[in-house]
Structure 1
């Protein structure tokens, strides 16, 4: 059912926006859900164009938006569905490169303002990398405003020719306060026992099992921890194409690492850990980094992408791809309880500087107002 919007000021008809998602990683999908809820609460009519499974997972309709199923494809039929959904919209906001490209095709120069948010960047080499750069140039040429979730994504958009590129305010959606969470001290022993980490340090990593995440480097680093007593256990929550490769290495090399697949209780798992690990080759606004700092879990991460500006000095940062540096940082923290406590407090202070969901919606709405000032009156 399409939600009924609140009356708009000055007699204008309610603003109607279309939010476009492609495959949508967890961060961008959760962002769109949060954005939809905030916009609807402010009287904006919101349509979310996304695959059906995305609505099942993120419940855009539960946020008050209308959902239109658009497959993960740029074929003519999918573009036609998207074009129909965008008809009559005051503004279209696409999230991610491929969703932005489809939105540009669907709008076809009809004059509807297009806002694009880049949450991440694709990783490719050779011909595919050249193809993605062409897509980027096509998208930024069509967009009135490009929002990047990190400074380097903003710079990338400008290099691609964006006429207006800005740093996006992006909150960590649905962040619960300590009062609202289940008591971590009560759950901690149970979770650690389930994972096999009773009486030994628990090191937690979360993310899809793909090359970008740097889990091959994490496995290399874990060799150094076998000399510790007790031996720390590394637990990786996530699924992906490297599952079999990583599992084979763990078994053949006898590494103290467990792959536990995709989990719905990541916040609870993280709150039970002694350290959070982020060995990625590139990240934007890492959800794991944000969750770790909020949960007062010391973080060891690579100094890549948007990580340094996100965490500041509230984490141990090491070069990407350097297994020895990563292992050394972990060992130092495990043997230095004072430093761990310091990072916990610094993490909370750093998290307090991040945008709230209200601030995120306010920034987006101000951009929408800039681009739709000439809308007709009701």
Structure 2
């Protein structure tokens, strides 16, 4: 599909709404906006100022409007002003979907919502999240889920039309593993290992915010089993969050071979030096870390939860969530079995080749837009 605005027709006008803009959803919206603009669609992106600054939506031809991630009347009114003349609004995430639904109240503008992830909440907050999800699912003309688990969740919340989304995670411009020779990859790997202090010993890498749902307490439990390996592996965790103090105290008190790196913007470079990447979350959809690891030929050990099994197939070592023993055994096998390690690397590259491309992602989204706006064209 080369253009969405044939001669004599007004280009389709869409508004993309972002909330917090995680690395995955922000990159997706930037990629999607670029593809839509290239096909003749007019795109406005409404997102908080910090998201706009980090993803530079205007650089791909979209019109960017800063809109706060709040549900107060002023913020909803600002969003409504941008959406009122749109042919279609596409929100990304439950929070963005709720604000878009409020802004569109009384307007005959179709709403598409992509659910990129689940909101992690417990206690009274979990009930609030369920109500939010129900409101968004029922308000949307179409819900696109980034994994089967999210599609099923949207249906349980009352979505009238929920589908599996084709979502490409664009490779970063700075990805050191992209189109690199084995020799150059080894140079990058050596530099990363030297910078992290892992010369002469295996390096394990985990990337993600220091929150309870990441499973880092289990990861530290498993680190005890690595103390018997020779040489002892070093685990580095790149990320920041509320559990930093608690985790650091455990690391020091138990003398674990673990370093907390804090917030880092160079996860591809860190992963390039790893002997294995660890993803121990309670739940994931299409984890950017898992995708980066497989693309970089880094063996992945991950919790068998959410969308991870369908994302990685047989290209990763999958373990039950919260099982420190299984996690420790998986690490020992990956580090101790060179043939298994090489097999995971080869399977990772093959699995990554099956993931949707950016063009396929844009094509699917445009087909949904066509369904919902075709009556506008026929009038």
Q: Please confirm whether the aligned pair reaches a TM-score higher than 0.5, indicating the same fold.
A: yes
> How far apart are the structure 2 equivalents of 1:262 and 1:209?
10
> How far apart are the structure 2 equivalents of 1:187 and 1:353?
26
Match of 1:252 in 2: 253
Q: Aligned pair in 2 of structure 1 residues 7, 365: CA closer, same or farther (>3 Å)?
A: closer
Unaligned runs of 5+ in 2: none
SS class of match (1:373):
helix
2:170 pairs with one of 151, 169, 173: 173
How many matched pairs?
A: 374
> How far apart are the structure 2 equivalents of 1:22 and 1:38?
21
Match of 1:313 in 2: 314
1:241 deviates by: 1.2
1:376 deviates by: 4.9
1:215 deviates by: 0.7
1:24 matched to 2:21: yes
1:55-107 Cα deviation digits (max 9, x unpaired): 11111111111111111110111101100111210000000111100000000
1:290 matched to 2:253: no
1:319-372 Cα deviation digits (max 9, x unpaired): 000011100100011110000001111111111111001100110011001110
Match of 2:218 in 1: 217
> How far apart are the structure 1 equivalents of 2:4 and 2:333?
58
Q: Aligned pair in 2 of structure 1 residues 332, 90: CA closer, same or farther (>3 Å)?
A: same
1:377 deviates by: 8.1
> How far apart are the structure 2 equivalents of 1:332 and 1:202?
14
> How far apart are the structure 2 equivalents of 1:109 and 1:166?
25
Normalising by the residue count of structure 1, what TM-score does the alignment of the two structures yield? Answer: 0.96
Maintained 8 Å contact 2:204/2:275: yes
Match of 1:328 in 2: 329
Match of 2:117 in 1: 120
SS class of match (1:291):
helix
1:110-159 Cα deviation digits (max 9, x unpaired): 11000000000112122211111111111111100000000010000001
Q: For structure 1, which segment, 119-128 or 28-37, has the greater mean C-alpha deviation from structure 2 after superposition?
A: 119-128
1:144 matched to 2:141: yes
Unaligned runs of 5+ in 1: 1-5
1:36 matched to 2:37: no
1:267 matched to 2:268: yes
Normalising by the residue count of structure 2, what TM-score does the alignment of the two structures yield? Answer: 0.96
1:204 deviates by: 0.8
After TM superposition, list the pairs within 5 Å mapping 1:1-378 onto structure 2: 8-174=5-171, 178-179=178-179, 183-376=184-377
Maintained 8 Å contact 2:84/2:107: no
SS class of match (1:14):
coil
SS class of match (1:363):
helix
Maintained 8 Å contact 1:221/1:327: yes
Compute the RMSD of aligned alpha carbons. Answer: 1.7
Maintained 8 Å contact 2:12/2:41: yes
Maintained 8 Å contact 1:7/1:13: no
1:30 deviates by: 0.8
SS class of match (1:372):
helix
1:375 deviates by: 2.1
